[in-house]
Amino acid sequence: MVTIGVFDGVHKGHRKIVTELHQKAQELKGSSVVITLWPHPRIVLKKDSDRLKLLNSLEEKINLLEKTGIDHLVVLPFTKDFASLSSCEFIEEYLVKKIGVYHLVVGFNHQFGKHRDGGYENLKRCAASYHFSMEQMSAERDNQNNISSTLIREYLLADRLEEANRLLGAPYPISGRVVEGNKIGRTIGFPTANIEPTEPFKLIPCDGVYAVDVFVGKRRYVGMLNIGTRPTLSQSQPQRLVEVHIINFDKGIYDELIHVSFRIKIRNERKFNNLMELAGQLERDKLKVKAFFRQESVR
């Protein structure tokens, strides 16, 4: 039992497809196989790739898909040669010869193959030729909208984190290496870890202060994360940064890979008159973050 897609975000719509895949695998006493593509086709084909923002790095996508309980995950390298295959050529070469597909599940708007010729009707003809069954899932909807990776990106870029999280079915994640900063936060009692995302095309949410989960190794902490240019500090060339203050944490973690999950936005970024005023606001932010997690723990 097979499904294929980019699966950026692994959102509720994607999970609906995977759930159906599981059920079919159990009914037909087969294995569930999810095939995903990397890099994103728009990057390879250079279709507006300068404006592309991904919801997941490859590592994040693999982790999310594996958590769904699938039997097998296949990551196919997307290349220009791969893109030149028609949908039926892809089916013959990969699904039939290499995987031995018995049943194919696709999403409501699924298309693949050269010139995106792999629409549902064409896929049905290919399926009949190679003697496997297939089905197309209806869209998963939210407030009259079809859930899609595009809609989630729009929500994140429009400062609508909670709505994006609802469609994802989980807090929006960012993974990155901790890089050395200017250490000014340490001087006012709020040391921060500057995060350099591992995926250069990763979508970074809107500027502001957020309550986040922070995962260092296998341990979870809570933190407050700032995205922005730090306007209180005089800078000749302001740079947009992602930095997190991990509450009740005092270890050195430079060059370590950490993961954060965005839970709720606390406030917008703003400029303060001096560092003392900034420190006072950060203390109030910290109290809000702690209050949020206390409330979450009793739900």
As a whole number of angstroms, the distance between CA 71 and CA 273 comes to: 56
The yes-or-no verdict on residue 9 having pLDDT over 80 is yes
User: CA 251 → CA 97, 193, 210, distances in Å?
Assistant: 51, 10, 21
- pLDDT for 290 equals 97
- pLDDT for 12 equals 97
Cβ partners under 8 Å of residue 180, min gap 6: 194, 254
When pLDDT is averaged across residues 237-263 and rounded to a whole number, the result is 94
- pLDDT for 234 equals 63
Q: Give the rounded percent of residues in the chain with a pLDDT score beyond 70.
A: 96
When pLDDT is averaged across residues 265-281 and rounded to a whole number, the result is 95
As a whole number of angstroms, the distance between CA 173 and CA 214 comes to: 10
As a whole number of angstroms, the distance between CA 194 and CA 256 comes to: 11
The H or E element spanning position 27 is helix 12-27
- pLDDT for 187 equals 87
On average, the pLDDT of the chain sits at 92
Which amino acid appears at position 184 of this protein? I
As a whole number of angstroms, the distance between CA 91 and CA 84 comes to: 13
pLDDT digits (tens, 9 = 90+) for 166-220: 999 999 999 999 998 877 888 899 999 999 999 999 999 999 999 999 999 999 9
The conformational region for residue 208 under phi > 0 = left, psi -120 to 50 = alpha, else beta, is: left
pLDDT band for position 230 (50/70/90)? confident
Q: Which DSSP letter does residue 169 get?
A: T
pLDDT digits (tens, 9 = 90+) for 69-119: 999 999 999 999 998 888 888 999 999 999 999 999 998 877 766 656 557
Is 61 within 8 Å of 76 (Cβ atoms)? no
pLDDT digits (tens, 9 = 90+) for 113-163: 665 655 788 888 889 999 999 999 999 999 889 999 999 999 999 999 999
- pLDDT for 180 equals 86
Is 213 within 8 Å of 261 (Cβ atoms)? yes
pLDDT digits (tens, 9 = 90+) for 15-63: 999 999 999 999 989 999 999 999 999 899 887 777 889 999 999 999 9
The yes-or-no verdict on residue 226 having pLDDT over 70 is yes
Is 61 within 8 Å of 37 (Cβ atoms)? no
- pLDDT for 113 equals 62
Domains of the chain (ranges, CATH numbers): 2-146 (3.40.50.620), 173-297 (2.40.30.30)
- pLDDT for 232 equals 84
As a whole number of angstroms, the distance between CA 123 and CA 104 comes to: 9
